[in-house]
Amino acid sequence: MALLAVLLSPLDVSATTRAASSAVTTAAAVAAETKKTRTWVKHGVIAGDTLVKVARRYGVTRSELIRWNRLNPERPVIVIGRSLRVYAKVVPLPRERRVHAVVKGDSWSGIASKYGVSQSLLRRWNPKYKGKRSLYVGNLVIVWLDGMATIKKEVTDEPLPLVAVQQGARSVGAPARGKIYGSAPIPENKSLYMVLRPRLSFGSTHAIEQLQLGIARFRRDYAYDGRVVIASMSREGGGRLKPHLSHQSGRDVDVRLPLVAGLKGTLPQSYEEVDWSATWGLVKSLIDTKEVVYIFLTHSAQRRLYRAAKRAGMTEVELKPLIQYPESIGSGRAVVRHSKGHDKHFHVRFKCGSADDACRDKR
């Protein structure tokens, strides 16, 4: 993306920007009450930022920003894509970068109002589509949302839409050298997920019950309307399932990374097409069953997952046992860890169930 210099003067602040700033101020003031110590943070500059807006966001002053960043006080310039050092009084939730896939009937103004942002800002965030009067289905439009912790829904007491899982299926041996006694198929449950390959979707009763439970809680707790796609688990009876090394004992299952709303198909073509907030919700809901051993995900994808988790309000300390990132590829004992080729799906390994008496973790 080309670096655009933004010249800052009081005249630069448009009416819409003023409205947005005052909303931010209120939020900042509330947050300031709860947190009074200062911390150094970096603020990544995006189109539409002004020194005044940034200052308000962190409860500091424009002149402080000029001083900390050694800007020219006469003509302070901030540059999109660079960051500002801020000794923040208030640390708001990070700004969230969302990707909106254009669907039939979408327009600049429609998308702007859907996300509650101004149309001119929306256009500036998307220089790729600059000068285009209309958008086309499949265009990916970037939207920046201010400190919105994503999409946690209100808690409801409605029963989870679980369907019965065939009983008595036991995991035998190790994931990379094992089989299944009395294999259970992943039952059809259209309100929760889609099973892509029924012939490769057998497992232990325990693993399938936990998989269904995790996805059901994800559906209950997170506002994600897209599909959850289960790619492969094990063959009926288990054993070798090419090209996988594991997937033999009915405890390993591949789940495709959820797509941003509105995209066709089930397989993300790039990280842009992945809804990372939904991915985080799904991963977290699965881990919360307490029956997950590992989740394999490529390290570069973990970075996106980690950011989504932070946006959802998780702290570094809470994330340490859950996601390997920001540690390096080989390190750590976190549940989510690197394994090559897991960049369009993640791979979940469930624990042995109490009935799986011949189930082992090593060969």
Positions that interact with Zn ion (CB under 5 A): 254, 347
What is the closest distance, in whole angstroms, from the C-beta atom of residue 267 to Zn ion in the complex? Answer: 14
Q: Shortest Cβ distance from residue 330 to Zn ion (Å)?
A: 19
Tokens of 107: 């327009």
- CA atoms of 229 and 256, how far apart (whole Å): 5
Minimum CB–partner distance for residue 298 and Zn ion (Å): 12
Residue nearest to Zn ion (CB): 347
Q: What SS3 state is found at 96?
A: strand
Which CB, 52 or 305, lies closer to Zn ion? 305
Nearer to Zn ion, 241 or 314 (CB): 241
The two three-digit tokens of residue 25, written as one number: 């101020």
Q: Is the peptide bond before 243 cis (omega within 30 degrees of 0)?
A: yes
Is the Cβ of residue 125 or residue 346 nearer to Zn ion in the bound state?
A: 346
Measured CA to CA in angstroms, residue 19 lies from 2, 14, 81, 127 at distances of 28, 9, 24, 23
Q: DSSP labels for 62-80? A: HHHHHHHTT--SSS-EEET
- Which residue, 46 or 176, has its beta carbon nearer to Zn ion? 176
Closer to Zn ion by CB, 91 or 241: give it.
241
Residue 295 Cβ vs Zn ion, minimum distance, rounded to whole Å:
10
Q: How far is the CB of 244 from Zn ion (least distance, A)?
A: 5
Closer residue to Zn ion (CB): 62 or 179: 179
Structure tokens at 61: 């002053």
The 10 Å Cβ neighbour count of residue 136 is 10
Nearer to Zn ion, 254 or 356 (CB): 254
- Closest approach of Cβ 232 to Zn ion, in Å? 7
Give the shortest CB-254-to-Zn ion separation in angstroms: 4
Q: DSSP 3-state assignment of 98?
A: strand
In the bound state with Zn ion, the residue whose beta carbon lies nearer, of 304 and 344, is 344
How far from chain centre, in Å, is Cα 250? 27
221 vs 254, beta carbon nearer Zn ion: 254
Rounded distance between C-alpha atoms, residue 309 and residue 312, angstroms: 5
> Least separation, in Å, of the C-beta of 58 and Zn ion?
43
CB 91, CB 41: distance < 8 Å: yes
Q: How far is the CB of 246 from Zn ion (least distance, A)?
A: 7
CA atoms within 13 A on the CB side of 40: 5
Partners of 110 in the beta sheet? Answer: none
Q: 335 in helix, strand or coil?
A: coil
Q: How far is the CB of 346 from Zn ion (least distance, A)?
A: 8
* Whole-angstrom distance, CA of residue 198 vs CA of residue 234: 10
CB atoms within 10 A of CB 300: 12
- The CA angle 190-164-353, to the nearest 5 degrees, is 115
* CB-CB contact of 47 with 80 (8 Å): yes
Which residue, 53 or 347, has its beta carbon nearer to Zn ion? 347
Backbone φ and ψ of 178, nearest 5°: -160, -175
